[in-house]
Each structure stands twice: as C-alpha cells, then as structure tokens.
Structure 1
Amino acid sequence: MTEPIFLGISSLFVLIFLIIIRIPIAYAMILTGGIGIMSIDGVGTIFNQLKTLAYGQFSNYDLSVVPLFILMGALASRIGLSSALFAAANSWLSWLRGGSAMAAISACAGFGAICGSSIATASTMGRVALPELLKFNYSISLATGVLAAGGVLGILIPPSIVLIIYALIVEVNIVSMFAAALIPGLLAMCLFLATIAIFVAIYPDAAPKTRKTDKEERIRATIGILPVASVFIIVLGGMYAGFFNPTPAASLGVGLVLIIGYVTKKLNLTQLKEALLETAGLSGMIYLILLGAELMKIYMSRTGLPQALADWILVAGFEPMSVIIVLLLGMILLGCLLDSLSIILLIIPFFWPVLVELNGGVHIAAETAGFGMTTGDLKIWFGILALVVVEVGLITPPVGMNVFVISSIADNCDISDTFKGVSPFFIAELIRIVILVSLPILALWLPNILTG
C-alpha cells in the first residue's frame, strides 16, 4: 500500500470520527480535505485551492437554482398551500378507512413538488395534518408514522434540492434527473397508500372512518389547490417541454408563489422576511458543504484511493450489480447517522469513478457495458437509487430525522411510537428499492423520451 493511499484511508476514518463527535459535516470535510491536501502538496497549495474553489462554487450559475427552489418552498409553506392540499385530498378520501392518512400522503407528494426538501415537507405537513388525524381518533403511532414517511416524498418528487446537487456532481442534465425521479416518486406514493390500506385492514381501530363529504365541498376544496397545481404544471411542465432551463423555471416559480401570496393576502412582509432568512441560512449551509465536498474530492483524487479501489474491485472480479447492492446497503447504514445531502456528497464523488470503471468506461456501448446501459443512463439510474436509499435513512433509527421532526410536533408522543408507526413504510421503501434495481426502465423511460 503506497503512502498516499494509506493517507486517504486514514483521512476517511478521521472524517467519520469528526462526524460522530458532532462536528458539522461542512467543517469536518474542509478540515480533513484541507489538511490532507497540505500533507501532499504543501501549505501554500491549500490557500490557492480554497480561493479558486470558493469562487468557482459560489459563482456557479447552475447552483443558483438551489436557493431559488428553497425560497419557493419557504414561501409556499407560509401562504397555506399545504393546508389547501390536505383539505382537497381529504375531501375525496376521508370516507375510506384510513382515508385521512392517505390524504396526508397525497398532500405530502403535492407539497414536495413545490418544496424539494424532505424535512421541510414533514415539518409543514405535520403541522397541518397531524391535528386533524388525531382529532379523527387515529392512533398516535399511525398518525406520526404516516407523516414521517410522507416527508420522504419531498426528496425525490421534483424539484428536489438533493437531486440537483447530485446532477451537478456527476454532470448530468438536471431536467433529465427531474424526469427520472417522477415515476419512482409516484411509485413511492402508491406503495405508501397501499401500505395504509393493508395496515388499517389488519388494525381497523388504528384508523376509524371519518365522514363523507358532499359534492360542493369537494369542488370547493379542489378549486383551492389550483394555485399549487398551476405552479407545478408551469414550472415542471415548462422544463420538461424545453421552454426554459431549471434556473429560469425556479425564478418563475418564486414569482408565481409571490403573486399567489399577494392575491390571496396570505403573505405579509414579516413572512417574506422569514422566508428570505430561511433561504439564506439553508443556502449558505449547502454551499459550505459543497466547498468541503470539493476539497475532499480533490484530496482523494491526489491520494489515488478511488482509482485503487476501482482497480481492486475489477481484479477481484466482483459482479457489478453486487457492488451496487453493497454500496446501497452502506448508504442505508450511513442514513441512520447523516442527513441526505451529506451522504450524497460523501459517497458519490468517491464511488462514482468505481461504477464507471465497472460499467466499462465513459464511452461504453450499452450492449457491452457491465450494467447493461450507457454511462449516461447509469448516472440517472444510480442517482435515483441513491436518493431512494437516502430516503430510507430519514425514517430509520437511531437518527431518522423525519421521525424526530414529527415527534417534536406531536404532544405527548414518544419517539418509539413514531418509529413503530413508520416501520410498515420502511418495508414499502425496501420493496421500491428492489423494484427499481430490477427494472431500471422505470427511472430511464421518461428522460429517454424527453431527450429523444
């Protein structure tokens, strides 16, 4: 083992240790990557790297889409769009046993389409739907479990912030990733709805029937979601149709939500200020994490560890699909400890070169590729798989961020109740992973249609 490779392996253990002792992931990566680069290239190099990387990252036009989509979600959560979504879904589904829980899942999917964040979706929909579910005498475990699971839809149903970051890392078209995420996202929603139906059939006391709404109430509630639908159709439909790129689309989305807030008189200056501050804080955190990830990427490249790992796997003769499965299992374990963005930034730059080598190289034809697809398709398919696996971590102990978010909203709710309620959805997520691994076409069909 050469000295640089040994340094690379040692640095990974140092990085994991820093994360375990609660050093923020951005600072942990900057510290580890910075010291690593200094140990190989000298002290002067790191300052040049920081200067160049910081300017390159923060002036990247493609990254401007991140704060814009964050702002769109922050504004949407403050003008009551989440309430309208739940009210509309509930008016159509509440007559079913478990119908209000199904309405919560449907509303989470709808809100995720204009939010792009799992935790924000869980938090916003939790405040809207949880009181209603408890009022209808849903069990505390089912009510909180549904909302914690529903929150994960925000990370995959486009526009997703983590999806955008992944696309920038592996250099794949953002619109293609959005298109690829649509069917797997809808698949998750359908599996969650089926999970609720099966659960309440087995445990009917957990979700009593509520009430049947009349036709006028359904029409009224459906009209209430037209603003949300218009934003979704214009922003995503415009991107899919090729009318505009993600950054103009996100800008248009922010403008539309502002207009809706002004017309409905649901957005005041205080709320606007709060949304802007939230956007600035989250965007700053993401940009700092990206800077740290880029430092780690450069350092690992200098050590030669990713290439050495790829060579070792090729020589060992492992099946490409077995490597994917082991990698996905590792990401599930990391998801128990880290947030989704940190996992993507830690894993993808390090392992992506390995997957390219396993596939046969950058320009390999699908017929002779290790995964049976071109490298472009591999980028899309693996990206969707990675995000689905990261979703599982959001509802998995001991961290399970969505579980903690929902438990903090619910009064007199023990964290174990929420983990109990979310366990059936964990099984549904595992089923979805198996389906997507077995049928890559579910992720590749729509982007291939759009790109011709």
Structure 2
Amino acid sequence: MSNEMIGVMGLLALFVLLGLRIPVAFAMFAVGFIGNMILNSSSAAMSQLASDAFSLSASIDLVVVPLFILMGNVATETGMSRKLYDAAYAWIGSIRGGLASATVVACGGFAALSGSSVASALTIGRVSLAEMERFKYDNRLSTGVVAAGGTLGILIPPSTGFVIYALLTQQSIGRLFLAGVLPGLLLLSMFLLTITLITWWKPEMGPKGPKTAFSEKLKSTGGAAPILLVIVLTIGGIYTGIFSPVEASAVGAGLIILFGVIMRQLDFAKFWKASKDSVVTTATVMLILISAYMIKTFLALSHIPQALGGFLETTDISTLGVLCIMLAIYLVLGCFLEGFAMMVLSMPIFFPVVMQLGIDPIWFGVLVVLTLEMGLISPPVGLNVFIVKSVAPNVSLARMFRGVIPFWIAMFVTLILLVAFPQISLLLPNTMIN
C-alpha cells in the first residue's frame, strides 16, 4: 500500500473518530501517532512525541497564550469588562440601534484583551442582553449582535487564532497581530453598518435608548479608563515596536492585575478563579497543538501535501482560483468543525500549497482566521450561537441563527474585500516591521 493511500485512510479514520464525538485532540493524536508508527517506526513515533511535547511546552512564543487569557479573565472577574460596555453605551446608546452598536464596540474592546471569541460573547452577552431586552430590542438582533460581535475575539489582536496559526506555520506572531488590526476594524465597521441598515429598515428591532448627559459620558469613560489604557499600551506597544508580543502580554496581564488590586476589585478568590480558568484553557490549547504536530508529521510522511500541490500545478486554475477553493472549503468545514480543530487539521495540507503558489502567508493567515470566525456563527455547529443560548435560554436557536444571517453576510463581504485588496492586511506588518 502506498504512503498516499495510508494518508487518505488516516484522514478518513480521523473524520470517523470526530463523527463519533471523540475530542479533536485525542482523535488527531491517535491518527497521527499510529500513522507515524506505520510509515516510520514505533521508536520514531515515541521520540517525536517526547520532542514535540517538550519543544512546544518550552516555546517562549507560547507565553502569550496564558498571559493574554489571564488578562481577559481578570478583566471579567473584576467587572472591568462591564465598565467597557457602559462607556460604549453612554456614548452611542441613545441612537436607534445604539445598544446593539455599543455591544459590538464593547466586544471589539474586550477582544483586544482576551483574544477569545467565546470569552467575548459570554462576557459581553451577560451584560448587554438584559439591557437590550429591557429596551424592547428584537431578540433576533440582540442575540445575533452578541454572537457575531464575539467573533472579533480571534481577529482583533491579541488573537489566540493568530498564535496557533503562527506556531503551525512558523510565521511571526508580531506580524500576524499587526495584520489583524485593519481587518478587525473593517469587520467591526461592517457590523455597525449592518445594525444601521437593519434598524433603518425595521426601526422596531432596535429602538432608541435614553439620552445620556455629557457629564455621564465622561464619567463612564473614566470608569473604563484602566481597561482602555491597558489596550492602548499592549496593542500600541506591539505596533510601535516597544514590546514584542510576549512582552506585551506580560505588561497587559500585570497592569490588569495591578489595577484590580488598586481599585479593590480583585481579591484572592477572584484571582484564583481567573488563574484556574486560564490554566484549563491553556492546557486545552497545548494538547491540541501537540496533537497537531503529530498529525502534521504523519501527513508529511504520506506525501499528501506534495501530491496535492503537484496536482494543482498541473491544472489551469489560477493562484486566485486555488485560494478561493481553499477558502470555500473552510467555509463548508466551518459548518461542522470547531475553528481551531479546522485550522490544525487543514494547515499541514494547505500551507505547503500556499507556499508553492507564492501566496503571502501573513495575508493567508488573516483570511483563514476570518473564515474561522464565520464558522463560529454558521449552522449547525455555530459555537458562539450556543454560547449566547446559554446566556439567553428563552430565545430559540432558530431565531438566533436567523439573527446572525445579516452579520454572516457582512463577514462574507469583508472576506471578499480582503481577498481583493491584500494591502488591507499587509499594510501595517510591511510598514512597521522590516
């Protein structure tokens, strides 16, 4: 049996295990380890397991994962995320659809702390859904806004999605973070435009909120000043080259903890809970990465990526056509697979093709992360929709999925713009980092 056929059988076995609800990390580990034993040897598979587990655990670049996660968890436990929403609400809550717009802005701000879409949707959803219900917002709009706004967590830096992509493809985390800034702001603007259009077409879906005095606006902004300062220092430090991403994560986590202690909002119990949640999330990421490296080696030994690249080179499909096919595959897979699982499964196959065709890997990373975001609100999996369902149990999943459709369309339009104009993604990394 040829190596390519063994590789195909391994992939089929992987999808069978995933269909049986085996956790993705365990499924990838089993297929990768057994495949390496068959194509190489048992001693080589054991040696790779030991070396990969150690090298990943000892990687200094991975420090950003627990520290940025800790930063977001501490902000949640201390109530700083609520103050971020209050500030956005005070400034734009009085316009039609203003509460929904404030929710998107707050999600974008919290995304710049947590790097997690799930954390953004859950944290801001707990605060905003009750307010939008109080002001008689249509629950399709309110839940759709929270689910879609939460997806900003893996595009606006610091992004866990970019960190994992960087480790899988050996790209610069700093360049990826910078590449996500303008696309993240573009997507946030598209969400705000979508809310404006919805409430213009059907004003009853997002009625105006109460007006806020200018003094209240200033007061709420002052309350959010600590978290805004942390966002500016961490992202601005990376942008200006003062901090590396690792240093920025340490500065951000340290400042959030310091502000929490100074303002007497962080006690030992809250810090312990935030730390424990951060450890659990980090351990999950690490397990997935170790398993991804196992299956990456298996696929390389099977020569499937090389065979795919050779096939594409012999066809008449243009580079743009190949890129569009890969993105279309991501959009379909996003309906059935969790985002990070989709990334670690596909990168060993797609990334060698990307490099063979001369596609910029930083640009490709932004496009991949955006398609992962779209999968977070795509039925039937739509992880963010189920997260919002846990916060709003009285709203049916059918209404929630109908509510996210306009925002999915906005994300698709953004994807088209990023494909058509690569410089949106590449301007900052090409100008700020030599």
TM-score interval, normalised by the smaller of the two chains: over 0.9
The change in CA–CA distance for 1:6 and 1:411 in structure 2 (over 3 A counts) is closer
**1: CA distance between counterparts of 2:230 and 2:348?**
33
SS in 1 for 2:131: helix
**2: CA distance between counterparts of 1:345 and 1:108?**
26
**2: CA distance between counterparts of 1:178 and 1:44?**
38
Query: Who is 1:111 aligned against?
Result: 110
CA apart distance, 1:216: 0.8
**Residues 235-290 of structure 1: per-residue CA shift (max 9 Å, x gap):** 11112222221112111111100011111111121111111111111111111110
**2: CA distance between counterparts of 1:71 and 1:335?**
27
**2: CA distance between counterparts of 1:379 and 1:6?**
29
**Residues 115-167 of structure 1: per-residue CA shift (max 9 Å, x gap):** 10001100000001111010111011111111001000111000001111112
**2: CA distance between counterparts of 1:176 and 1:48?**
32
Query: Who is 1:413 aligned against?
Result: 395
**1: CA distance between counterparts of 2:326 and 2:45?**
31
TM-score, normalized by length of structure 2?
Answer: 0.98
CA apart distance, 1:312: 0.8
Query: Who is 1:375 aligned against?
Result: none
Query: Who is 2:215 aligned against?
Result: 216
Q: Which runs of 5+ in 1 are unaligned?
A: 360-370, 372-377
Query: Who is 2:204 aligned against?
Result: 205
Query: Who is 1:275 aligned against?
Result: 274
Aligned 8 A contact 2:148 2:377 in 1: yes
Residue correspondence of structure 1 range 86-101 to structure 2 within 5 A: 86-101=85-100
> Considering only aligned residues, what root-mean-square deviation do their CA atoms show, in Å?
1.1
Query: Who is 1:62 aligned against?
Result: 61
Letter in 1 for 2:66: P
TM-score, normalized by length of structure 1?
Answer: 0.94
Structure 1 runs of 4+ aligned residues shifted over 4 Å read: none
SS in 2 for 1:106: helix
**1:85 maps onto 2:67 in alignment:** no
**2: CA distance between counterparts of 1:205 and 1:409?**
23
Query: Who is 1:313 aligned against?
Result: 312
**1:237 maps onto 2:236 in alignment:** yes
**1: CA distance between counterparts of 2:111 and 2:31?**
34
SS in 1 for 2:407: helix
CA apart distance, 1:210: 1.5
**1: CA distance between counterparts of 2:320 and 2:262?**
52
Letter in 2 for 1:403: V
- 1:387 is aligned, of 360, 369, 375, to 369
Residue correspondence of structure 1 range 430-441 to structure 2 within 5 A: 430-441=412-423
**2: CA distance between counterparts of 1:64 and 1:88?**
31
**2: CA distance between counterparts of 1:236 and 1:197?**
28
Question: Which range is displaced more, 78-87 or 398-407?
Answer: 78-87
Aligned 8 A contact 2:354 2:361 in 1: no
Q: Which runs of 5+ in 2 are unaligned?
A: none
Query: Who is 1:152 aligned against?
Result: 151
Question: Which range is displaced more, 118-127 or 61-70?
Answer: 61-70
Query: Who is 2:430 aligned against?
Result: 448
**1: CA distance between counterparts of 2:242 and 2:204?**
50
SS in 2 for 1:321: helix
Query: Who is 2:183 aligned against?
Result: 184
Residue correspondence of structure 1 range 13-412 to structure 2 within 5 A: 13-359=12-358, 371=359, 378-412=360-394
Question: Which range is displaced more, 193-202 or 311-320?
Answer: 311-320
Aligned 8 A contact 2:300 2:348 in 1: no
Letter in 2 for 1:138: Y
**Residues 365-394 of structure 1: per-residue CA shift (max 9 Å, x gap):** xxxxxx5xxxxxx01100000001110000
**2: CA distance between counterparts of 1:211 and 1:61?**
49
CA apart distance, 1:294: 0.3
**2: CA distance between counterparts of 1:192 and 1:240?**
24
CA apart distance, 1:416: 0.8
Residues paired across the two proteins, number: 434
Letter in 1 for 2:12: F
